[in-house]
Amino acid sequence: MADFESQIARGRASSDVDVDVGLRNFMLGVYAKMALGLLLTGAISWTIASSPEVRQYFFSQSYDGRFHFTLLGQVAQWLPMGILLIAMFTRAFNSPQASGVLYWLVVSSIGVSGAVWFLLYQLGSITGIFFITASAFAAMSLWGYVTKRDMSTWGRFLFMAMWGVFFAAIGSIFIPGMRLGVSVIGVLLFAVFTAYDTQMLKRVYYQVSGSQYGMAVATNMGALNFYLDFVNMFQFLLSLGGSRR
């Protein structure tokens, strides 16, 4: 993943490069893989939330009706973060096979912890927020695809902001008044991340288009970045406008 990100930073192709068939097919492949990841996450989350026999391994319910993660559930909740940190600081996932394993492992573990969506929010609300997220994601990704503005210098600021939102989200657990502000900033941040990741992925394509190996890694890592942008935006929007059970 570190090599993948450095490859993005070294990309010299400008964002106004004419669209070609290869780029279009590559991007469609990344979007399709992201969509499959979202489908798997939803299926796992729904299965766990709707099956008490399975749910008991990951969630416990207190006397007041609130759900809490069990020890196994907490492992699933924090597993994606641990995997992504390992991937960020090592070269453990820089092959097509390993990057594919990384993607599906993150997707599956988020599917486990994501069962809390169906436990806390009404199904109609989840569906509505999902389509709002899909519309916002599509709009921002399209903008990132066609804009001539060079966003390559935005990366450091966006990653710093991401960590700021992460720690603020943890703080909002103890200071509920922070939640609204954190959610609004989170939605805006990952909307911008979507445009940024789209443009960076175009740059990577022109760097690795002659290598089947590089294209496979770029597809997996591109789908992972898009997936994380979508899921984070969805969670913040759900926190803002979701109807609780």
pLDDT at 19: 47
pLDDT at 203: 92
* Planar angle of CA 163, 165, 166, nearest 5 degrees: 60
pLDDT at 11: 45
pLDDT at 130: 96
* Residues listed for the chain: 245
Distance between CA atoms of residues 182 and 166, nearest Å: 9
Give the CA distances from residue 99 to residues 87, 156, 216, 219, in Å, rounded to whole numbers and listed in that order.
9, 23, 9, 9
Residue with the larger pLDDT of the pair 220 and 77: 220
Compute the average pLDDT of residues 4-25. 56
Compute the average pLDDT of residues 181-204. 94
SS3 content of the chain, % helix, strand, coil (to 5): 80, 5, 15
The dihedral through the CA atoms of 196, 80, 87, 224 has a sign that is negative
pLDDT at 170 over 70: yes
The residues, ordered by sequence, that sit 6+ positions from 61 with a Cβ below 8 Å of its Cβ are: 67, 68
Percent of the chain with pLDDT over 90: 56
Compute the average pLDDT of residues 162-178. 81
pLDDT at 198: 97
pLDDT at 109: 94
Indicate yes or no: pTM above 0.75. Answer: yes
- Residue 142: both structure tokens together: 């399209």
pLDDT at 2: 44
Q: How many CB atoms lie within 10 A of CB 209?
A: 16
Please say whether the beta carbons of 55 and 49 come within 8 A. Answer: yes
pLDDT tens across 199-215, in order? 999 999 998 887 889 99
Residue with the larger pLDDT of the pair 170 and 1: 170
Residue with the larger pLDDT of the pair 61 and 117: 117
pLDDT tens across 43-66, in order? 999 999 999 999 999 998 877 777
Angle of the 21-50 helix axis to the 212-241 helix axis, nearest 10: 50
Q: Give the range of the structural domain holding residue 147, as residue numbers without chain letter.
A: 2-241
Query: Is residue 241 very low, low, confident or very high in pLDDT (cuts 50, 70, 90)?
Result: confident
pLDDT at 13 over 70: no
Distance between CA atoms of residues 16 and 82, nearest Å: 36
Query: Is residue 167 very low, low, confident or very high in pLDDT (cuts 50, 70, 90)?
Result: confident
- Residue 105: both structure tokens together: 């492992």
pLDDT at 177: 75
Q: In which region does residue 19 sit, left (phi positive, over 0), alpha (psi from -120 to 50) or beta (all else)?
A: beta
Mean pLDDT of the chain: 87
pLDDT at 7: 47
Token pair 């603020």 is found at: 168
pLDDT tens across 81-113, in order? 888 888 888 877 888 899 999 999 999 999 999
pLDDT tens across 125-142, in order? 999 999 999 999 999 999
Q: How many CB atoms lie within 10 A of CB 240?
A: 14
Q: Structurally, how many domains does the chain consist of?
A: 1
